[in-house]
Structure 1
Amino acid sequence: MPTRKYDDTPKFGALYARTVKATLRRADYEPDADGLTLELPRSAIDQDHLTAYRDVTGFAAGPALPATYPHVLAFPLHLDLMSDPSFPYKPMGIVHLSNTITQLQPIPMHAEPAIRVHSTAERPHPKGTVFDIVSEVTVDGEVVWTDLTTLLSRSAGNENASVDLLPDPEVDPSAWWDLRGNLGRRYAAASGDRNPIHLFKLTAQAFGFPRQIAHGMWAKAASLASLQRGTKLPDAFTVRVDFRKPVLLPSRVQFGSRTTGKTTDFALYDERRELTHLVGQLQAV
């Protein structure tokens, strides 16, 4: 498996241009046989950028990074991987199914973490092919955080393929969030994820949505920020979310959670609780 190392974080302008080119490549394209690992030995954290991320997701200020923030640091490498000629799928149109983060210890906000990213082998899904992008963050040579981003490339699929899903939790609403139409643009500015389905009504309609939708990783971050406001999150935990139905913007949603021992189940619903947008489970380590 070849490895590509960087001296600095790849720039989004070039990455998005390459992403569009990769999406438009011919149907009979055959990728390189070997997978690719990307490594960034040092990632400097911009404190103004971190503040903007806290503001849009709801995390309070503190000495450690929000648990979801390293995903933002790794995201340019995700784009670089998915737009590389070795990548077997067209990046635009890939569906984010779930995300699992394991924080082994809090990451200091002034750390300079190293990041390593690679993809896993594909596996069948009823609606196409599923694969994972794995991100690993180290500080001073010690692994402190990992992320498993599960993605679906749509195709004919295998109707007999098994699907790993979190159970629907039984939780009562504890908060209602009024989400403005510009939320996607605000999170895009803080995260770098400028997928057009999140930005404007017209750009979302071009991909089949009635209007723009919230980022799934914003919903996960906002859920964890809400949990943190209720009770302090443990230093070490694994938290997984499954993304069910898109959150249209603007809209009003309700959030609920329940803690039993070391496990916290949570969910995000629409205002009338007719749609489940996200289900999650946090397990203290």
Structure 2
Amino acid sequence: MSTVEVQELDGAPGLGLLYPKAVLTGFTRSGKELPGTGYLRRAVEVDRTQLAQYSRVCGFGVTDTLPVTYPHILTFPMAIKLMTAPGFPFPLVGLVHIGNRIHQLRPVRAGEPLDLRVWAQNLGDHDRGRQFEVVSEAAVGEEVLWREVSTYLRREKSSGAKESRPETPELPEAAALWRVPKDIGRRYAKVSGDSNPIHLYPLSAKLFGFPRHIAHGMWSKARCLAAFEGRLPDAYTAEVSFKLPILLPGKVAFRTERIGDGWEFDLRAAGDGRPHLAGTIS
């Protein structure tokens, strides 16, 4: 982040204002470079009530240690502010979250005031358009405890052919079958602040081209990692590729296999095996 100009924020950006802004200003965006700016919030305290609610929605136990995915919801408003700021090259509406990598350098405790940083980097070509990364960090003083890299795709190309089904690793039979309730999008939105209409109701999702509302990708990642609770070291990396969305309500199969010192896992539709997510823990 040394080459990024940092703007310090006094509080969390209001997502209730940023989402309408994204819709209203998206058609004016056209650029070729990412902004050389990032955001910083200092000494952010964790709301333990929200932490407990988040843990329950995602399947984690309620403890004083943050689930590995929890800092994402602390930095997410800053990331949305970055992607809706003047000069950002792409409209937020239509961006596809295709990958997420989280490095936990050590467990984060709820009582630790966190310095949060967010910036964008690595704009480049993708087979279907352009992609870039949004990097988020949580630190205590000079010690970085957690780092996340989210990869987003701006679709700009189409071959005209029917898109092939994404490949996922061959893993053993399902370790668990999970019913994903129709209100999980609204429940996750309540604890995360991510109230994108594609996740809330069938009608609002249809306005953006989906047959029904869909589960948040970061909920599905969190739910998978919750299944490993108690089996992971203090420091590790959890990386996923997001495949096809989970239409709500749904039923999914969670599969996993031990690979060396880590794990491979995936999430598929329980009926026809359509892939929703594929990941590794190392």
Q: TM-score, normalised by structure 2?
A: 0.92
Partner of residue 20, structure 1: 23
Question: How far apart are the structure 1 equivalents of 2:216 and 2:49?
Answer: 21
Q: How far 1:168 moved relative to its partner? A: 1.6
Contact 2:35 2:88 in 1 (8 A): no
SS of the equivalent of 1:227 reads coil
Q: In structure 1, what residue type is equivalent to 2:220?
A: A
The Cα shift of 1:95 comes to 0.2
Q: Cα gap change, 1:234/1:273 in structure 2, threshold over 3 Å: closer, same or farther?
A: farther
Q: Deviation at 1:106?
A: 0.2
Mapping for residues 54-73 of structure 1, pairs under 5 Å: 54-73=55-74
Match of 2:101 in 1: 100
Contact kept in structure 1, 2:101 and 2:238, CA below 8 Å: yes
1:31–1:86 contact (8 Å) kept in structure 2:
no
Shift of 1:167: 5.4
The gaps in structure 1 that reach 5 residues or longer are 160-164
Query: Quick one: structure 1 residues 95 and 34, their matched pair in 2 at CA, closer, same or farther if it must change by over 3 Å?
Result: closer
Q: Which residue of 2 aligns with 1:162?
A: none
Partner Cα distance (1:181, 1:35) in 2: 40
1:202 equivalent in alignment to 2:203: yes
Superposed counterparts of 1:174-253, under 5 Å: 174-228=175-229, 231-253=230-252
1:259 CA displacement: 1.3
In 1, are the aligned partners of 2:34 and 2:123 still within 8 Å (CA)? no
State the TM-score, normalized to the length of structure 1: 0.91
Q: Identity of aligned pairs, percent?
A: 37
SS at match of 2:175: strand
Amino acid at match of 1:120: Q
Q: CA shift at 1:30, angstroms?
A: 4.8
CA gap of 1:166–1:139, structure 2 versus 1, over 3 A, is: farther
Aligned-partner Cα distance in 2 for 1:260–1:182: 34
Q: Distance between the aligned counterparts of 1:209 and 1:105, measured in 2?
A: 39
Extract unaligned runs of 5+ from structure 2. Answer: 161-165
Equivalent residue runs for 1:1-285 within 5 Å: 1-25=4-28, 29-30=30-31, 34-156=35-157, 168-228=169-229, 231-283=230-282
Deviations 1:159-183 (A, max 9, x none): 9xxxxx9952423201111111111
- 2:163 matched residue in structure 1: none
Paired residue total: 274
Question: Are 1:98 and 1:149, in contact at CA under 8 Å, matched by a contact in 2?
Answer: yes
CA displacement 1:208-251 (0-9 Å, x = unmatched): 111000000000000000121xx422110001000111100001
Q: CA deviation at 1:155?
A: 0.5
